[in-house]
Structure 1
């Protein structure tokens, strides 16, 4: 089923939640290669002004990674990182203690990567990702190893596009959206969430339950989103058009 594009006026008086990789920004083969063009920084700042602060990035990236990618404009918007585990908004920085088990997991995954050229290990504040986009033949063994480590260390196994991640559990992007929506100025508005991956489905379900809408970016699939756009570039164009 092909989802319709979102109407332009749907952004008015709403709260906007954006995933980063594959949604606002194009996916890169290497996580460290993702970059924000100057035009996108200007767009985020314009959205923050137009929506009067009702905008948040909700990402699997850590807050440190989001700061490095977004630069100064990261201070103008609310941030939720590590799949809803950590948050920063209006000077408040909330995060749990990092479990030491992640260091042991990272060591095991780096050992796996040494035998698979093209596999990349991404260490985050509250998770460790194993990317096999450049080594697709590693998918089966990567998934099996990640599942085994999740059980051994009591971590949550998060699957995404050409990546498996072991992370702190108990939260997801839907929980992050729900937390933001309980606070002013977001409370009482309708939420919109744009995302591309299976990791965004909890957020799509949450905004739907709150009377809002999800926007699926990229390839169409079974989803709780109401609308769809074909690419991050088209989302950026739609956002710019919606605030003009």
Structure 2
């Protein structure tokens, strides 16, 4: 599959009518061997600040990472953020909405036991979620899936996500589509048409929600998707967003 390195956003984004939702890892920044090893391009924070201004504030990050982690990477910006797939969400007015956190005791025990036997794995605890990364041990994908699925099956209110080299147990009440829908009920997003960019299977609910609300999804990179558009990689995403924000101002 040939995926374009450029995607003109002028037909998809309108400064006065669109709401822009952006995944983080694999969409705005390149994936890294470890979650904390990502590199934040020098241009990213100024780009996001300019996008927020041009969109009248209707810009949000929708990520599997916690809200606090996004703040650390994007300091000094304090954008609206849906973290942990929507389990926590900071609205544009700064208020924080936290969904009930299910018990992850069974998942934590199973994942910790797996980590003791296979130190190349990595655990990423979050509020109401636990991610098991196997990027350094791809041969353990099937084993990680079996262990996490069994633990999640014994944990009421918990669902399992399988993303890029990661299995994540999280609240069954949260997904990125629900988070986007919640933003669209609040200013400055209300009444606007959503555009969502994401790269992973975990972003599919976000694509679905954006398109159900009359907007569009943009898939970053390869893979089966319901998104209506594609772009090759995070550098191409940043370039497309930069070109749009520097383009002609709306009349």
Aligned to 1:96: 99
Q: Identify unmatched segments of 5+ residues in structure 1.
A: none
Whether the 8 Å contact between 2:176 and 2:206 is mirrored in structure 1 is: yes
Deviation of 1:36 (Å): 1.9
Aligned with residue 62 of structure 1, among 40, 61, 66: 66
Whether the 8 Å contact between 2:110 and 2:148 is mirrored in structure 1 is: no
Aligned to 2:249: none
Aligned to 2:205: 202
Aligned to 1:211: 214
Whether the 8 Å contact between 1:6 and 1:215 is mirrored in structure 2 is: no
Matches within 5 A, 1:224-235: 224-235=226-237
Deviation of 1:103 (Å): 4.5
Question: TM-score, structure 2 length as denominator?
Answer: 0.90
Aligned to 1:239: 241
Deviation of 1:45 (Å): 0.8
Deviation of 1:182 (Å): 1.4
Aligned to 1:134: 136
The alignment status of 1:116 with 2:138, answered yes or no, reads: no
The alignment status of 1:32 with 2:36, answered yes or no, reads: yes
Whether the 8 Å contact between 1:34 and 1:69 is mirrored in structure 2 is: no
* CA–CA separation in structure 1 for the residues paired with 2:135 and 2:175: 23
Deviation of 1:2 (Å): 5.9
Q: Identify unmatched segments of 5+ residues in structure 2.
A: 247-251
The alignment status of 1:182 with 2:185, answered yes or no, reads: yes
The alignment status of 1:158 with 2:161, answered yes or no, reads: yes
* CA–CA separation in structure 1 for the residues paired with 2:206 and 2:169: 19
Aligned to 1:105: 107
Question: How many matched pairs?
Answer: 240
Deviation of 1:107 (Å): 3.6
Aligned to 1:47: 51
CA distance 1:156–1:16, shift in 2 (3 Å): same
3-state SS of paired residue (1:83): helix
The alignment status of 1:7 with 2:11, answered yes or no, reads: no
* CA–CA separation in structure 2 for the residues paired with 1:98 and 1:207: 26
* CA–CA separation in structure 2 for the residues paired with 1:49 and 1:209: 26
RMSD: 1.6
Deviation of 1:62 (Å): 1.2
* CA–CA separation in structure 2 for the residues paired with 1:2 and 1:186: 33
CA distance 1:183–1:3, shift in 2 (3 Å): farther
3-state SS of paired residue (1:153): coil
Whether the 8 Å contact between 1:120 and 1:130 is mirrored in structure 2 is: yes
Whether the 8 Å contact between 2:3 and 2:232 is mirrored in structure 1 is: no
Whether the 8 Å contact between 1:62 and 1:126 is mirrored in structure 2 is: no
* CA–CA separation in structure 2 for the residues paired with 1:8 and 1:112: 44
Question: TM-score, structure 1 length as denominator?
Answer: 0.93
Deviation of 1:210 (Å): 1.1
3-state SS of paired residue (1:117): coil
* CA–CA separation in structure 2 for the residues paired with 1:2 and 1:103: 44
Deviation of 1:3 (Å): 6.6
